Copies of this chain bind each other. A is one copy, B any other.
Amino acid sequence: MEKSEMDSKPEEASRQTRVTILDVASAAGVSKSTVSRILDERLPRSDNDTSRRVRKIAEDMGYVRDVSAASLRRGNTMTVGVIVPRLTDTVMAMLYEALAKACSKSGRFAIVATTDDKPKADRLAAESLLKRGVDGLILSTAREDDDFPDELAARGVPFVLALRTDGRSLSSVGDDRLGGYLATRHLLDLGHRRIGVIAGPSYASSSRGRVEGYRQALEEAAISVRSDCIVPSTFGIDAGADAALQLMRLEDRPTAVFAVNDNTAIGALSSLSRLGISVPNDVSVVGYNDIPIVSHLPTPLTTLRVPFEQIASNALDLLTSGAISADDRIRISAPTLIPRKSSAKPSS
């Protein structure tokens, strides 16, 4: 995008030269230093006579700070890079929107790059964001076996993990264990005794935590955990559909299914419907994340609502200020169970 090409609109070719801090200074009869100080949003806002006047004049002249120049001099860009697998995954879109909102509260801007869930693509995404001069990274792509966070730490790049953690790096996550517990407990309280899990991938701390919560709830209820009731999957709809099929093929098939996320729950609903199994009459289903669509399904989905705003603001806070103490390195936000039509008492 050549400047010459982009500026060569026929209409309004007048505004060739931007208004700089020097223009404001000379118009106000003060020095550029004074204007710079007055307009510096980081300093406490002074209410001098001159301050007000200069601000007014800058406003009237249509002055806007050149971020490139400011960044060059200040040494930071007030920009945070966010890496997510994909934005078409509504969960990730929700996380990003929450991060963007939290950033704007502190005068920063969140820019995003996607990895398409390819294992090594997070490195490329990080590289492109760092080239863009971001001050720090927020990653939602952490994998169990991956040492990318360590590489980043070794390079001195500030970063925080979100939604998923590696257990070591600064992280802001949901309480997946609690969520899994609440989901399972909800089904147990309804009277279910055989509960299947669509377990998600083992490389993600989120799905592992949710399954742990499931185990805990069962053990607490003195129900033995059947390993054939725990079906691994991805986070995708297809995998959820497959896993549900597998669960329904079991002898003593489950009367309820806890899916590790809403996508797999949607897949499960699809499979159950195709099998002629009614939800919730024959089988109850619980999802996770409360993405907007699930409350509008033919059978509205019982699910866990994740406090993305809180997770986002914690992530940003950790990025900026770091951990207060050793056990503050991983901040955990509690989810809420949202009971809807997809879960009910077992029919028997």
Name the residue on B nearest A78 (C-beta).
Answer: B1
Contact A64 B131 (CB under 8 A): yes
Which B residues touch A293, using CB under 8 A? 237, 266, 293
Which B residues touch A86, using CB under 8 A? 93, 97
Which B residues touch A297, using CB under 8 A? 266, 270
Contact A67 B241 (CB under 8 A): no
Contact B111 A109 (CB under 8 A): yes
What interface size band does chain A fall in?
35 or more
A320 contacts chain B at the CB level, 8 A cutoff = yes
A106 contacts chain B at the CB level, 8 A cutoff = yes
Q: How far is the CA of A301 from the CA of B90 in the complex (A)?
A: 19
A37 contacts chain B at the CB level, 8 A cutoff = no
Q: How far is the CA of A320 from the CA of B78 in the complex (A)?
A: 27
Contact A68 B72 (CB under 8 A): yes
Contact A6 B114 (CB under 8 A): no
Which B residues touch A71, using CB under 8 A? 68
Q: How far is the CA of A146 from the CA of B106 in the complex (A)?
A: 30
A94 contacts chain B at the CB level, 8 A cutoff = yes
Contact B75 A6 (CB under 8 A): no
Contact A156 B15 (CB under 8 A): yes
- Within the complex, the shortest CB–CB distance from A101 to chain B, in Å, comes to 9
Binary B-proximity of A194-213 (CB < 8 A = 1, otherwise 0): 00000000000000000000
Which B residues touch A106, using CB under 8 A? 1
Which B residues touch A13, using CB under 8 A? 156
Contact B75 A72 (CB under 8 A): no
Contact B320 A5 (CB under 8 A): yes
Q: How far is the CA of A38 from the CA of B340 in the complex (A)?
A: 62
- Within the complex, the shortest CB–CB distance from A125 to chain B, in Å, comes to 10
Name the residue on B nearest A274 (C-beta).
Answer: B298
Which B residues touch A1, using CB under 8 A? 76, 78, 80, 106, 108, 135-136, 319-320
- Within the complex, the shortest CB–CB distance from A301 to chain B, in Å, comes to 11
Known contacts being A128-B109, A156-B12, is A72 close to B72, with CB within 8 Å?
A: yes
Contact A9 B158 (CB under 8 A): yes
A-B contact pairs, 11 of them (CB 8 A): A1-B319, A6-B135, A6-B320, A9-B158, A15-B155, A68-B71, A109-B111, A109-B132, A237-B292, A269-B298, A274-B298
The 4 closest A-B pairs by CB, nearest first: A273-B298, A68-B71, A237-B296, A87-B93
